[in-house]
Chain A
Amino acid sequence: MISTSTRLATVMAVAALLVTGCDTIDDPIVPLTINYNGEAPAPEFEAMTTGPQHVLLEDFTAHQCGNCPPAGELATQLAEEHDNLVHLLAIHAGSLAAVSNAPFDTDWTNPESIFYWDQLDVQANPMGRVNRRGGPGAVVSPNNWTNTVNAELALTPPAHLQGAAIPDPSAADNVHLHVHATFAETIQGDVRLALLISENNLIAAQLDYGNDPEVIPDFEHNHLLRGSLSGADGLVVTTNPTAGSTIQEDYTIQWDPEWVQENSHVLAVLTNANGEVLNCLDLPWTP
């Protein structure tokens, strides 16, 4: 017959297994952290009490989207009209961005572009977001880009950004990124900072229904979203910041050798808890 102690040991073993045998993870997302490891101290920025509202214009495009080049031209025109205030991202995503036979055999999509595409309430090319006003799902058709961009430019920004992108003179692959934010008003909830890389002068095929022939084999792709240094959603840098408060984030990242640094931009995008852009800045390259 089984002894009482054996029964007790069995029950205890079973109980121990039940308790320790499951790692239930309610939120498996691990916050991404990037550190600064430059030899020189990080530059210091003064609080910025005034400044303009910058505009992030995201152009959802694709190399096999024949109607997309005119939308890209409109975006470029808006950026040129409002120099250093309107920042473009050409985001290749959707079925028309798929890789197929030559000459459309380059994959311009990336995890960030797919992530942003998945956020859209209406998934179509060409389509845009302007400062993600209304949330990440809200889209603006190219016909309304001009008015929406102008409306955004007229706003008083809730936060001001300053910063710099500094290649490390001693480690060629390292780039130091510095972003300083001054909050002009109190913001509720988490504030995220995303650092997005775009690249100009990428030569590859593009379908253009307005061109003859429609396939342009050596189209110049500009402002093309290449990736991020902080995840598409960005990192939470502060929560419930009050008016007048400041933060500074200093990072060192290893530059992807596939991205030509001279042709690239690092865009700092500060968003609120609803995903709307508080302000953004094209970080100036500083020697």
Chain B
Amino acid sequence: MKHMLKLAWTLAIICPWMALAQDEPATGQITGNVQMLFQTYQEDTLIGAQVPPGKTGFNAFGNLIYTRGDFSAGMRYESYLDPILGYPGRFRGSGIGYRYANYSKEHFEVTIGNFYEQFGSGLVLRSYEERNLGIDNAMDGFRLILRPANGVTVKSLVGKQRFDFDSRLINSPGIIRAFDGEINLNDAFERWASAGTRITLGASFVSRFQEGSTISKDTLILELPQNVGSWGYRAQVQKGGFQFMGEYVRKINDPNADNGYTYRGGEGILLNAGWSTKGLGINLGFKGVDNMQFRSDRNLQLFDLPVNYIPAITKQHTYNLAATLYPYATVVQGEVGWSAEVFYTIPRKSKLGGKYGTKISFQYATASCLDTTNLTGTDGAVYGYERNSWKAGEDLYIRDINFDISRKFSKGFKAKYAFFHFDFNTLATPVTTDYKGIVNANVHVVETQVRIKKGHSLRTELQALFTGTDMKEVDGFMKEVKQDKGDWATVLAEYSVSPHWFFSVLDQYNFGNPNPEQRVHYLYGTVGRIEGAHRLSVGYGKRREGIFCIGGVCRAVPASNGFEITFTSSF
């Protein structure tokens, strides 16, 4: 395999220079992109900003992709000198962190080296990169995709997952073997071709091999399964404006660090149904997962080596206060939740809709613990608990109710109002050390965008977050005390001079902190310039410590104060 990889890399390196030198597109094409992030750190005791020994951080990567006909090869060169705070601290040095070669024909496709893959919604397998979180569980091995007939796709892969980076790629101890089959009935069968209902069915199987013999637990010695299998079935149906997606997954006994090394099997259901017509859309979702966390190393937790992905039931918010103070992270050990979402556009040129129409959306989402009974004695040590039903258990994890309305008033002005209500369990998602329990928070956001003159626009956001109150004894009297760090406000102003310049100022202010000394302004300013596909920005200011989430996966980010320079480019 090493020889094959060397050959592929040699081709990838030599061929593009031939192409560039001879300027002949027939010899192939090379594309790529670069991103660099340089950060300086200053001490700031007020916000608890940390200063690493090197006082700076530098994360960078560059992709080079060579394509010729059915063949492509690429690599990503990465640098962590030293890693930006909040990134996995063990990422170190510079080197090649991703490399692959791919050959694709009509009926098959082969990839060697690194690749990303997802089966269905990812409940049994999702290999992906989320660079902002420092997550990269790329596969490293072989993948074969067959398309034996119209509408039929069979994927199979064998490999290890990326775990670490220390001037080179470091893979997981476990080996992943997987296949996935999917059939689109309308494409596969002629008599279905013209049917109004489109149906896709799929099934997956994923197995992890990791060496292991026994573990000691309480007074027991337990045999470890070396091969752990997970499988799932899925269906997708679409007819007119209606669509439905359902997936059901299982996993056999997989004692691991997440589940306290218990032998209970895993199970999960994901259902989504939606209906839309002109100006109106409705989505309903249900998710139940029980012990479905799956990793290529049974002894790891958090972000390390996930084989699968458990999506969040809540929407990923983008406004500063709604997104960063109480972001919900999926409780991978088990949770049950549902959501309902409605979109409506009040028609343009109507009394309520105005000249350009008015958009409204509403979402309700909730997740709770599972309805379980803890087992005792030996059964408790070996199996942990029994699930009684897919009903919600006693502990609420999150209730997220949000609403927004937006309207374009004229060619030069549009505005949006958004409201969020969170009942957020800080024990389930520990975003704060100042409060244990359910935080009730309301967030109001007003966003405006004004076109000042040709090429000049100003976008502003005014945000306020108000936490609930608890009765507490203060100086011998019962008083209402604000939950957690109290109330916050954020002001954001972005001024753009297209196509080249942009300026922004963000101030996050904890004006309602019960401790007056902690009523801090987190002020951050940015200036940047864009030249085609190249973008350079320089920022300076304070960043609050907190939890940064993408898609229900979250990472703790420390407070910082200093300069941040970013450069991105693609070619």
Contacts and interface: CB of A to CB of B under 8 A. Distances in A.
B156 A23 contact: no
Given A14-B205, A231-B220, A23 B107 contact: no
Contacts of A18: 205, 229
A21 B124 CA distance: 14
Given A13-B156, A25-B225, A111 B207 contact: no
A30 B253 contact: no
Interface residues of B, number: 35
A6 interface: yes
A62 to B, nearest CB: 19
A100 B8 CA distance: 62
A171 interface: no
A113 to B, nearest CB: 10
Q: Which of B177, B219, B220 has the most CB of A within 10 A?
A: B219
A103 B179 CA distance: 59
Majority DSSP secondary structure for residues of B touching A: strand
B221 interface: yes
Contacts of B205: 14, 17-18, 21
Contacts of B107: 1-2
B378 A233 contact: yes
A263 interface: no
A7 B152 CA distance: 12
Contact of A118 (B223, B229, B253, B380): B380
A228 interface: yes
Contacts of A17: 177, 179, 205, 207
Contacts of B154: 10
Contacts of B147: 2
A6 B156 CA distance: 13
A119 B376 contact: yes
A112 interface: yes
B218 A111 contact: yes
A28 B252 contact: no
B492 interface: no
Contacts of A1: 107, 148
A232 B226 CA distance: 27
Contacts of B128: none
Interface string B139-150: 000000011100
Interface in A1-59: 1-2, 6-7, 10, 13-14, 17-18, 20-25, 28-30, 32
B219 A118 contact: no
B221 A29 contact: yes
A122 interface: no
A247 interface: no
A92 to B, nearest CB: 16
B559 interface: no
Contacts of A23: 225-228, 252-253
A246 B327 CA distance: 66
Interface string B144-178: 00111000001010000000000000000000010
A74 interface: no
Nearest to B381: A115
Contact of A112 (B179, B219, B221, B225): B219
A237 interface: no
Contact of B219 (A6, A22, A111): A111
A115 B253 contact: no
Contact of B377 (A13, A20, A111, A115): A115
A114 interface: yes
Interface in A119-176: 119, 136
A195 to B, nearest CB: 12
B222 interface: yes
Contacts of B148: 1-2, 7
Given A17-B177, A118-B377, A25 B146 contact: no
Contact of B146 (A2, A24, A30, A119): A2
A136 B177 CA distance: 45
Interface string B323-357: 00000000000000000000000000000000000
B376 A22 contact: no
Contacts of B222: 28-30
Interface in B373-429: 376-378, 380-382
A30 B223 CA distance: 6
Contacts of A233: 219, 378
A25 B223 contact: yes
Contact of A25 (B156, B209, B220, B253): B253
Q: Which of B107, B220, B255 has the most CB of A within 10 A?
A: B220
Given A17-B179, A115-B219, A136-B377, 16 more contacts: A1-B107, A2-B107, A10-B146, A10-B154, A13-B179, A20-B207, A20-B227, A21-B205, A23-B225, A23-B226, A23-B227, A23-B252, A23-B253, A28-B224, A111-B218, A119-B376
Interface of A: 1-2, 6-7, 10, 13-14, 17-18, 20-25, 28-30, 32, 111-112, 114-115, 118-119, 136, 228, 231-233
Q: Closest 6 interchain pairs by CB?
A: A21-B207, A22-B229, A23-B225, A231-B219, A2-B148, A30-B221
Interface of B: 107-108, 146-148, 154, 156, 177, 179, 205, 207, 209, 214, 218-229, 252-253, 255, 263, 376-378, 380-382
